[in-house]
Homo-oligomer: A and B are copies of this chain.
Amino acid sequence: MARIGGRPLRYMREAGYDGRILPVNPNRDTVQGIPAYASIAALPETPDVALLAVPAEATVQAVRDAAQLGVKNAIIFSAGFAETGDPGRILQDEISQIARKSGMRILGPNCLGVFNPASNFYGTFSVVLDNEFIKPGPVGIVSQSGAYGAHIAHLARNRGLGISHWITTGNEADLNLAEVLHWMVDQPETKVIMAYAESIRDHELFFAALEHARRNEKAIVFMKTGRSDVGAAAAASHTAALAGSDAVFDAVLRQFGVFRAASTAEQLDVAYACARGIYPRGNKIGIFTMSGGFGIQMADDAVANGLDVAIMPEDAQEELKAMLPYASPRNPVDATAQVVTDLPLMAKYINAVVDKGGYDIFVGIFGTGPGSSSFAEPLRKTLLEATKGYEEKVLALTMSAGPDVFRRYEANGFIAHEDGSALIRALGALTRFRRSFDEAQETAPVAPGEKISIEASALSERGAKDVLSRAGLTFPQERLVAPGGDIGAAAGEIGFPVVLKISSPDIAHKTEVGGVAVNIRTAEEANRMGAEILAKAVEKCPSAYLEGIVVAPMISGGVETIIGVVQDPVLGPVVMFGLGGIFVEVLKDVTFRAAPFDVAEAHRMIREIRGYAILEGVRGEEPADIDALAELLSNLSRFAAANADRIESIDLNPVRILPKGQGVVPLDALLILRQGGQ
């Protein structure tokens, strides 16, 4: 074994790992004093897990030997695989194949391994444990990057957090982040998971893991990097061009109730708050302060994070006023600095806030006081007394003090932070987790729709609408008039005014070839304009197959929106929604959801756009038919999920959302099929 192999052995021996350890080293009789074997094949028994720390070239054979011996799990530390280029990638593919054939599960290569403090298992060569182990606890860590995983483990230790499992997945030749996440959710000792990813290998496993987590009320706090990567691939459709992958990732994490951390510090802050395991049912926060300014600042932060700084009930205010006449008992409850001199009074005072305020969350602001050794313990006892019987509430405080003081307060169940803004962000996250857990309980998992057979290799607008109609979408009644047919008569049947559109599977962008005429008011005009459109199409697209002219009713009114489906390179089929026109083009006011999703999720999606108020009706307009819109989005998502192998993208643009009760009308449909799919 190479040098990096020595560290796991040393860690496990120092920690007192009580399983058997069997070193393998062809050149030495003993390793750290333990008898070593010359080869994997020479092992006297089959180990539960093999740690492999040999050069890349020798790794494939070692993996094969381990599989041969019947080893069920292997961790490969070695680098020199896909991350170095094509020759390494070939070696890595061989490892993947051995895993698939043998059933042996492999972590890595190019990973820092695994550790589990509760069982003293240290299958890692990370230096983060060199000076100090990390205690067992409720936080699971899974990271594609070993360095990042080590960094947050280090920060968690500094914060006094214990770790249940620490798993780095490296190049993911076999096991990937999603599978590890799913497994971690099932570990009873894990209450919250910190995850780090640069990319996702299998979006279906990933979504399944996220859904599994929220159905089991395990919070995931996610760091996803690469958000500034603009992904410049030229896209065939309008929707695809708008779907910058990071905006999609962001929306999808919201969809599954995952907290996406904006910084590593925030990831730690939120995980720390989650580690208490209390997710408040409501968002009412009571703030206790002895200095007005801090109270105002925290109230500002609370409002910005969706918390409700509800005013104390009148009778409770009277009670507080009776105790401290000069204090301000509304909320923030400002007891003023004088209360510091009378801790029994402070206990009574805070107890009244907690007891009478009806708050889901209580936060006390204590500044540098607890940093004084003579004040830290009396204050802690005061707070314990004041909050006795309310241990199921979220009890938090801000203070500046040494780590030992923090640990003592935390041991009593308080969430303690030096920075009020960071604390409030984390408390806001707790309420959002609660909401997401509840939403998961209220709904069944969403199934994809039916698979729809599409014979053609390309679809006209009419063909696209036919396919989507079978998926439950409804379109305005239209007539296709073959070349030479009487367009005017068809228009008369539809009812004037009408729209004329060229129909061809080979013409995706009809307006660009003069293929659309609107507001046609007579049969004569319809026939003349129809002929003109056909002539232009022949001239501009001589090789296009022309089905004829589609005659459609002119539909105006309602709110113009754009709806689409795009294949995200990482997250698979996603549905996009936004308001049309300038909103989508200038403000990029769109949002996304991974397909499939139900109507309730569609409603949440719709409410996310900044221009949502327009759908509710502004400037005297009637409210739009948001229910019908949500149903369309959900139906489209189920179609997109069931037919992801055939669909490259869908544009419904514009879709008019008519007033409540009158439905939604997609006026145009563009469905681009996957090349090579079937």
Residues of chain A having any CB pair with chain B under 8 Å: 84, 127-128, 130-131, 144-145, 147-148, 150-151, 154-155, 158, 196, 198, 223, 225-228, 262-266, 290-294, 296-297, 299-304, 309, 326, 337, 367-368, 372, 400, 419-422, 582, 585-587, 610-611, 613-614, 618-619
Please determine whether A264 and B144 come into contact, CB atoms closer than 8 angstroms: no
Please determine whether B582 and A614 come into contact, CB atoms closer than 8 angstroms: yes
Please determine whether B225 and A297 come into contact, CB atoms closer than 8 angstroms: yes
22 A-B pairs with CB atoms under 8 Å apart are A127-B368, A144-B293, A145-B291, A147-B290, A147-B367, A150-B368, A151-B294, A154-B368, A198-B292, A223-B297, A225-B293, A225-B296, A225-B297, A227-B304, A228-B299, A228-B302, A228-B303, A263-B419, A263-B420, A582-B611, A586-B610, A587-B611
Contact partners of A266 in chain B: CB under 8 A? 421
Q: A127-B368, A145-B291, A148-B291 are in contact. Are A326 and B419 (CB under 8 A)?
A: no
Contact partners of A151 in chain B: CB under 8 A? 294, 367-368, 400
Contact partners of A227 in chain B: CB under 8 A? 300, 304
Please determine whether B304 and A228 come into contact, CB atoms closer than 8 angstroms: yes
Q: How many subunits of this chain does the assembly comprise?
A: 2
* Complex Cα gap A421–B292 (Å): 30
Partner of A226, one of B228, B265, B296, B614: B296
Contact partners of A290 in chain B: CB under 8 A? 147
Q: A145-B292, A154-B368 are in contact. Are A419 and B265 (CB under 8 A)?
A: yes
Please determine whether B618 and A582 come into contact, CB atoms closer than 8 angstroms: yes
Please determine whether B291 and A147 come into contact, CB atoms closer than 8 angstroms: yes
- Of A145, A147, A326, A587, which is in contact with the most chain B CB atoms at under 10 Å from its CB? A147
* Complex Cα gap A586–B420 (Å): 32
Known A154-B368, A228-B302; further 9 A-B contacts with Cβ < 8 A: A127-B368, A148-B293, A196-B293, A198-B296, A226-B296, A226-B300, A227-B300, A586-B610, A586-B613
Please determine whether B587 and A610 come into contact, CB atoms closer than 8 angstroms: yes
CB distance from A663 to the nearest CB of B (A): 23
Please determine whether B293 and A128 come into contact, CB atoms closer than 8 angstroms: no
Contact partners of A613 in chain B: CB under 8 A? 586
Please determine whether A263 and B301 come into contact, CB atoms closer than 8 angstroms: yes
Contact partners of A309 in chain B: CB under 8 A? 228
Please determine whether B421 and A263 come into contact, CB atoms closer than 8 angstroms: yes
* Complex Cα gap A262–B145 (Å): 30
Nearest chain B residue, comparing its CB with the CB of A127: B368
Contact partners of A419 in chain B: CB under 8 A? 263-265
CB distance from A450 to the nearest CB of B (A): 38
Q: A128-B368, A618-B586 are in contact. Are A294 and B421 (CB under 8 A)?
A: no
Contact partners of A614 in chain B: CB under 8 A? 582, 586
* Complex Cα gap A639–B19 (Å): 83
CB distance from A172 to the nearest CB of B (A): 14
Contact partners of A147 in chain B: CB under 8 A? 290-291, 293-294, 337, 367
Please provide the 8 A-B residue pairs with the shortest distance between their CB atoms, ordered closest to farther.
Answer: A263-B421, A145-B293, A147-B291, A228-B303, A225-B296, A265-B419, A225-B297, A586-B613
Q: A228-B303, A582-B611, A586-B611 are in contact. Are A400 and B155 (CB under 8 A)?
A: yes
* Complex Cα gap A301–B400 (Å): 28
Contact partners of A131 in chain B: CB under 8 A? 372
Contact partners of A304 in chain B: CB under 8 A? 227-228
Contact partners of A127 in chain B: CB under 8 A? 368
Please determine whether B262 and A421 come into contact, CB atoms closer than 8 angstroms: yes
* Complex Cα gap A26–B148 (Å): 65
Contact partners of A155 in chain B: CB under 8 A? 400
- Of A263, A293, A610, A619, which is in contact with the most chain B CB atoms at under 10 Å from its CB? A293
